[in-house]
A and B are shown apart, each in its own frame.
Chain A
Amino acid sequence: MEHIKIHNVSKLFGDTKAIDDINITINQGEFFTLLGPSGCGKTTLLRTLAGFYQQEEGDIFFGDTFINEVPAHKRNIGMVFQNYAIFPHMTVFENIAYGLKARKVKKDEIIVRVNEALEMVELSHLKDRQPSQLSGGQQQRVSLARAIVIHPGLLLMDEPLSNLDAKLRVKMREDIRSLQKRLNITTIYVTHDQEEALAVSDRIAVLNNGKIQQIGRPHEIYLSPVNKFVSNFIGSTNFLEGKVEAGKEGENAMVTVEGVTLATKFGRPFQGKVLYSIRPEQVKIMDDKETSPTLLEGEIVDATFLGESVVYKIIFNSGYTISVHEHSIRFGMLREEGNKVKVDLNPNEAVIFDESGEEVINEHKNIRHS
């Protein structure tokens, strides 16, 4: 069921468009993430939804309600801030009860609901503490409890975990995710950490310069980026320059990369220079003795053992270096620096971009602006 509809929304600061013609539809109970580099407009979009900014153009609907004209305090939104924004002059309990009091909920019901929320975030034992006596992680839990206790129609979180240390971040994001699913709250989550986004989201919108680049499920974003920006921003990848001789829609086309010619399917007719993108774990390293015209010769110049995987840097004859991840399956499989190898660029999993950075293999009508 469609729940949140953001239609052609733009917000200007002076002359610059902080967000530019945003269209997003979010379903009931969905965990939706806004992902993008610093300054791309994530916070701006979130604050526009919350009612702290008024968009210059476009409309926002919560369900069937037209929300443009509704002031922030009447939008029934739960918000979790990066710096927690706990009320420093109230105890944990009072912080969480704050929104319920504003809604004139009866006293005994407040107690029941606050206790319930405290349990959900595992803070029952701290309810009479002053915020100054809480750790960062605990403060963020208070902030989360305070936001969900009011049964918000929409939960907004702006980089809620960025002030926490790495380990706690992983635990908290799992907790947030399971709580969100349990309560079935439609959630918009902002982060610039792509790993976090991939881990928790139902769907992700990648933003850059105030514009949506791609909307999709985590694996779609990762495996089928629609442009060079997304492919570069999510995960890491090798970009190789190449050339397409002739490619007809739906037919095999031949891409020449580093002197080898590979066959791949093209979503639209294309001819000319391209950028061949292949992720480190999609590249296959073969024995030097393998012979096939689609394999590239290379030499390992660096090997870094990371435990579950090994990262190799391989230099081609052209002087170009790519990085390759290989599972360290068993002892004896480790390759040494100086080893000569053959490399399979795995065209079936590669993504190819034209010179403007647009993807040319898949048809993304359904993924973009869905």
Chain B
Amino acid sequence: MSIKTSGIRNRNPFRIQLGFWNYVVIIAFILIGFFLIYPLFNIFVNSFWQDGKISLENYQEFFSYKYYYSALLNSFIVSTTATFFACCLGIPVAYAMARFNIPFKGLFHILIILTLLSPPFIGAYSWILMLGNNGFIKNFFADLGLDIPSIYGLHGMIWVFTLQFYPHIYLYVSGALKTIDVSLEEASASLGVSGWKRIRKVTLPLIFPTVSTGALMVFMASFADFGTPMLIGQGEKVLPILAYEQFISEMGSNPAMASTLSMILLTVTTMVLFLQRYVVAKKTYTMSALRPPKIIKLKPAKRVMATLLVMAVVTLSIIPQATVITTSFLKTNGPVFAGGFSLDSYRQVLYKVPQAIQNTFTYASLAIVFMVIAGLLLSYVVVRRPSKLTSLLDALIMIPYVIPGTVLGISLIIAFNKPPIELTGTWIILVVAYCIRKLPYTMRSSTAILHQIDKSVEEASISLGVPPMKTFFKTTAVLMIPGVLSGAILSWVTTINELSSTIVLYYGATATITVSIYSEVFTANFGTAAALASILSLATIISLIIITLLTGKKDINI
């Protein structure tokens, strides 16, 4: 046997596979560049553009008129206060649920998740039904001669956001509490630190990083929310509303100012994100519970107290959903409830806006198909083919976390409202917006499951004679499906409930359920609005059940 020396060095054994994955990376970069970076860059440029030249005029205007900067102030007040109160609700509820023997835990847990996944303005809207100027609770007290404050105004927004978003805190803190080793708390107890003091000195500092992540989510959600302030803000404007109005104003839109407001929104969210990361970076303890804490059996009296606390919070937060569903079955005549029950609202909905219902589910389904494919391929590239390029890709995919929906909508319209690419008013632009906004969630669950899949499974398959590409689809891809799907369904749920970018991007025929609810509420057709909202709630509940079945566990990570 003669020794030949190979001519080619450094040949890659994954030649075929890398070829395919290279295409994936290239296509991902092109799509992200086109639909995310380019539009963002566009509003950035736009905000500095006045009368054909570069200027800071827009920003000067923003900071010199109270009309503008008070919106920023309002946004800040509402978001920080809501975040604070959400912590006040979320932490005790999570602690009680994790540590005490409270009955019906599973039910409470599901209801809390359901709260989070309902469209925000359903909360606002049903609080209007209860505490609006003509709300039934308000009327009830008025009959007794008591004048209680109406829901309208900043305090109303804070109220609604708190009740809607505290589940973020609850979910994160629940997770963290499970990872505190019982010995830490025992140790402090043996040192004579006990009760409240121990919780304050030991438990709280330990879960602080997690709480801050939850708080970030609450802040972002409240800061970017569109529906709630639109419905109950009345005179008090917040930033997303202002941006929207500047953009879609009947008195001639002002894209430059809308861009400026968008940039300010983006700057704030980005800064808050980095602030949170900075604070947490110094205080991260990795813990893995060797002995997760036991559930404490409370004495009957205390147990009742703890249960009542949890029940009160959960009930208060689920009331809007209950109100909406009940309302949907009431007989109505425009804004007036005629007494008695009927299915009229549903009949009307099917007659009035069948297109919107169809649109919602079609667009969300199109988006989910794309997200499953993208989640599958991109998470694989990011996790299994780490390089500078793929970690850049990972970072880019996560940008939408900090983009408020209104901003994304505005940026997409400005970018694609003229030839050669005119997408404004088409369904495509909506699906694009949904994909961009929700992909991070699918990515996160896909990456999580991929980390749990043994790498050598693929190598085993290759060595058994199956080419790399086919191997991926026969092994890893199949194993990833539950994780990818559960992430995608969650994205689907938040997509059907999406309002803030849809409201900017829709156009008559492409209206969705959320847009229809919004306009029904504005025209005071409470019955039909409630019927539409109930349809969304039902779809949400079904999806949650599917996820639970898919992942086989009760924990749902939002």
Contact = CB atoms under 8 A, between A and B. Distances in A.
B12 A79 contact: no
B354 interface: no
A69 B468 CA distance: 16
B340 interface: no
Contact of B462 (A5, A53, A73, A103): A73
A71 B13 contact: yes
B3 A87 contact: no
A64 B466 CA distance: 23
A85 B460 contact: yes
Interface string B1-33: 101111011111101100000000000000000
Given A54-B13, A89-B479, A102-B465, A69 B460 contact: no
A78 B463 contact: yes
A50 B459 contact: yes
Interface in A56-106: 56-57, 59, 61, 64, 66, 68-69, 71-79, 81, 83, 85-89, 98-99, 102-103
Interface string A1-23: 01001010000000000000000
A146 B464 contact: yes
B475 interface: yes
Q: Binding site of B, secondary structure by majority: helix, strand, loop or mixed? A: loop
Given A53-B13, A71-B15, A89-B478, A59 B463 contact: no
A171 to B, nearest CB: 23
A150 interface: yes
Nearest to B455: A85
Contacts of A77: 463
B385 to A, nearest CB: 14
Interface residues of A, number: 41
A150 B463 CA distance: 10
A203 to B, nearest CB: 20
Nearest to B4: A66
Given A66-B6, A89-B478, A103-B465, A146 B460 contact: yes
B457 interface: yes
Contacts of A54: 10-13
B456 interface: yes
A52 interface: yes
Contacts of B456: 81, 83, 85
B165 to A, nearest CB: 37
A81 B13 contact: no
A318 B330 CA distance: 103
A314 to B, nearest CB: 45
A51 interface: yes
Contacts of B8: 68-69
B250 interface: no
B479 A88 contact: yes
Nearest to A2: B1
B13 A72 contact: yes
Given A2-B1, A66-B6, A69-B11, A79 B463 contact: yes
A74 B471 CA distance: 13
A79 to B, nearest CB: 4
Contact of A98 (B15, B461, B478): B461
A244 B547 CA distance: 78
A355 to B, nearest CB: 36
Contacts of A87: 457, 460-461, 475
B467 interface: yes
B346 to A, nearest CB: 42
A50 B1 contact: no
B454 interface: yes
Contacts of A76: 465
A294 B466 CA distance: 66
Interface in B434-483: 454, 456-457, 459-468, 471, 475, 478-479
B9 A56 contact: yes
Nearest to B463: A79
Contacts of B454: 83, 85
Contacts of B463: 50-51, 72-73, 75, 77-79, 147, 156
A345 to B, nearest CB: 46
B121 to A, nearest CB: 42
Nearest to A96: B464
B6 A68 contact: yes
Nearest to A61: B1
A297 B456 CA distance: 57
The 5 closest A-B pairs by CB, nearest first: A99-B464, A85-B456, A85-B460, A102-B465, A79-B463
Interface of B: 1, 3-6, 8-13, 15-16, 454, 456-457, 459-468, 471, 475, 478-479
Given A53-B13, A81-B459, A81-B460, 12 more contacts: A52-B459, A59-B6, A71-B13, A73-B466, A76-B465, A77-B463, A78-B463, A85-B454, A87-B460, A88-B479, A89-B475, A99-B464
20 contacts: A5-B1, A50-B463, A51-B463, A54-B10, A54-B13, A57-B9, A68-B8, A71-B16, A72-B459, A73-B463, A73-B471, A74-B465, A75-B463, A83-B454, A85-B459, A87-B457, A87-B475, A98-B461, A103-B465, A147-B464
